[in-house]
Amino acid sequence: KLDEAGINPWTDVLTEKQFRDTFGETKHTFTGVDYVAYYRELIESMGCACEIVFANDCRAILAYTKSVINCDIHTRRRTKRLLTAKGAKVYSLDEILTAPVNGSGYNENYGLLGSNKATEDTIKLFPRDCRPVVDKIQDLILKATGTKVEVMIYGDGAFKDPQGKIWELADPVVSPAYTEGLEGQPNEVKLKYLADNNFAHLSGDALKEAISDYIRHKDADLVGQMVSQGTTPRRLTDLIGSLCDLTSGSGDKGTPIVLVQGYFDNYTK
């Protein structure tokens, strides 16, 4: 409908009436909630006046107020910089509730970022002080079984839903704490690339052995090499946390612990 209405989403600013006249009632693809109506009702229930404006340029808000709370997550620093440069007084969510208020909870690093609604008048904050927890779990399992496992606490996965076009990662990071073995990113080669290029003349056991030998002797850092393209070289905690989030979720499954086995195995094992 954007194109049909001749709206440029990067430059145009819409009032709530203009939005409704163009798009009508807009319910979330999966939850069925009209969040525009929900937030209006929430604000007005607190006895506050509410004016909703739609814009993708954060600076559009300065036509209405010079005092801003910016609630974006991964672009929050840029938003604050752009608004501050125009003379606005800006607070980001990670600057609110970074210390206790009248005995409340707090998160010194992320404030309100990553918080979730608990009841109608309380929220749960993003976890803090997590490193001692993962280290303790690792130590307990090692003592009980003789096996060293890597441990991480995870929240939202780092992926985008292909149907609803919605990013899952509403937390400031995928993992607030993890053991040392999960630091870094994969350093892998693309098996199909090797089979189609380096060893196109081989097949069967000879091909398998050639690829296995290549893996055993690969460079310690493959960044920039064509042989590693397409191997998803992202942070290990983002990859594994996304896997765990897709497996457990926060619904009926009620899965407090996800055990991932064989993640660091490769073609040679």
Dist. CA 127–CA 129, nearest whole Å: 7
Q: State residue 54 phi and psi, 5-degree precision.
A: -110, 120
End-to-end CA distance of the chain: 52
77-81, 129-133, 226-230: segment of lowest average pLDDT: 226-230
SS3 135: helix
Full DSSP string of 171-206: SS-S-SEE-GGG-S------HHHIIIIITTT--HHH
- Side chain identity, residue 175: S
For residues 55 and 191, give the distance between their C-alpha atoms in angstroms, rounded to a whole number. 45
Backbone angles phi, psi at 178, to 5 degrees: -160, 160
Residue 269: count of CB within 10 angstroms of its CB: 8
Q: What is the pLDDT of residue 249?
A: 67
pLDDT tens readout for residues 125-163: 999 999 999 999 999 999 999 999 999 999 999 998 888
Asked if 178 and 121 touch (Cβ cutoff 8 Å), the reply is no
For residues 99-127, give the mean pLDDT: 95
